[in-house]
Amino acid sequence: MDLTRRKALIGLCVAAVPAPRAASAAQRPLRISVPMGLHQKMIEELGARFTKANPAIAVEFLGKGDNWDPLLQVTLREGLVNGLPDATWQSLAYARLLARRGYIQPLDPLAGGRAAFTALGLPEPLLESISGDSGVHAMPFGTTIPVVYYNMDLLKRAGHAAAQPPSTWDEIIEVAGKISALDRTITGGFIENDASNAWIFQNLVASSGGRMMTPDLSDVAFNAPEGRSSLELLWRFGDVSGTNMSREQARQAFNAGACGILIRSASGTTSVSEATQRRFELMVGRLPIPSPKGRLVGAGHGFMVFTKDTERQKALWTFFRFAASAEGQMILARQSGYMPVNMSALGQADFLKEYLQINPYHRAVVEALAITTDQFSFLKDNTVKITDMMADVMRDVVAHRTRPDVALKAMADQTRKLLSS
């Protein structure tokens, strides 16, 4: 099928025998919007395996937009004209925005209460990030977290004798500085601070125990010691980077063996390992979490309900549960670079063994999923302006054009201004 010309129809199957009421609503296929072509094999297998296990429920995936942002824009336009499908597969960062618009329905009534999500194996920090006054807004399906990629050959050349890579920021900065001093053509370390939605800054703040806004969302909260230490860390990375590179240049340098340490998403482990094999020893470590109260911030995705038809909602809940089950999570692991969100599944020896066979470089980082929340998005239409501004300020900090304390004040002042406009 040509996804660029028409809707993608995946996993359509209708039962030939009577079914319970929860399933009878799905005699017309459940219509779920998804990004066109994004992890299509995964969606195809998820739909096929689900309909095999639940032959009374048909699922139709509608390709709209080629990625998360375009899909969101299509969703917002459809919402204005009352043209939404039954459900959607979206970035979890958009759950609160869509809930604020009144488009998505809370899942608590379908689940039988919030405790049902915990019973499924979903971690509380993740549930908190996608919940509001009305309840849980989405069923998480997968996520990714920032991790640290190490060129162990360069670390050893710089005097790092331990078999395992560094585990604290001080250790990382120290060895990155030594790597940078080896050769003018080698970059000691690079952190992808320009990731969308200020994702790395959110992680640095959260891992130090901070947050982006106050619990009541009345004011910014990152203009605190946690925010200052985050920008100070970026300043220190500017000391060891050796040169002003773009994200893509840094990735190319790391893959070529000319960068010692790279901090980027765990979703890149497969491509990085393929690009670096036989060039140097690659190791992947967890992002340091300095505070006992620290958390990581994932970039997750999940399913959300639009329809108000209770019977179709029940059928959708059956599909959502399948996606979050161990079987659905293994489909995710096999067919994408995303990490599972079901902690109960990861706690099963057979599941974990198979998962690490697929993603061996995740061995040191999977435990962090238990304390992983999801991205914070400012509930304003100009949220992109806010995060773009933050990226510009952080770029100036790394380049040593703006001191961390000055940058933090500028970020807070500009965020408040944009939130009030």
- Determine, yes or no, domain membership for 14: no
**How many Cα atoms sit within 13 Å of 70 on the Cβ side?**
10
- Determine, yes or no, domain membership for 13: no
Q: Do 92 and 233 share a domain, yes or no?
A: no
Higher pLDDT: 55 or 27? It is 55
- Determine, yes or no, domain membership for 83: yes
pLDDT at 354 over 80: yes
Q: How far apart are CA 405 and CA 317, in angstroms?
A: 48
Task: State residue 115's pLDDT score.
Answer: 94
Q: Do 289 and 205 share a domain, yes or no?
A: yes
- Determine, yes or no, domain membership for 361: yes
- Determine, yes or no, domain membership for 16: no
Higher pLDDT: 168 or 27? It is 168
- Determine, yes or no, domain membership for 8: no
Q: Do 407 and 290 share a domain, yes or no?
A: yes
- Determine, yes or no, domain membership for 9: no
Q: Do 382 and 289 share a domain, yes or no?
A: yes
Task: State residue 384's pLDDT score.
Answer: 87
Q: Do 247 and 103 share a domain, yes or no?
A: no
pLDDT tens for each residue of 183-229: 999 999 999 998 889 999 999 999 999 999 999 999 999 999 999 99
**CATH number for the domain harbouring residue 95:** 3.40.190.10
Task: State residue 262's pLDDT score.
Answer: 98
Q: What percent of the chain has pLDDT over 70?
A: 94
Higher pLDDT: 44 or 243? It is 44
Q: Do 308 and 292 share a domain, yes or no?
A: no
Q: How far apart are CA 356 and CA 108, in angstroms?
A: 32
pLDDT at 15 over 60: no
Q: Do 328 and 316 share a domain, yes or no?
A: yes
Q: Do 87 and 118 share a domain, yes or no?
A: yes
pLDDT at 406 over 60: yes
Banded model confidence at residue 382, pLDDT cuts 50, 70, 90: confident
Q: Do 216 and 312 share a domain, yes or no?
A: no
Task: State residue 182's pLDDT score.
Answer: 95
pLDDT at 19 over 90: no
Range of the domain at 293: 146-297+378-420
Pairing of strands 146-151, 282-286: antiparallel
Q: Do 320 and 246 share a domain, yes or no?
A: no
Q: How far apart are CA 287 and CA 203, in angstroms?
A: 9
Banded model confidence at residue 381, pLDDT cuts 50, 70, 90: confident
Q: Do 154 and 175 share a domain, yes or no?
A: yes
pLDDT at 2 over 80: no
| Count of domains observed in the chain | 2
Q: Do 285 and 180 share a domain, yes or no?
A: yes
- Domain boundary among the residues 369, 395, 411 is at 369
**Mean of per-residue pLDDT scores for the chain:** 92
pLDDT tens for each residue of 276-309: 999 999 999 999 999 999 999 999 999 999 999 9
- Determine, yes or no, domain membership for 388: yes
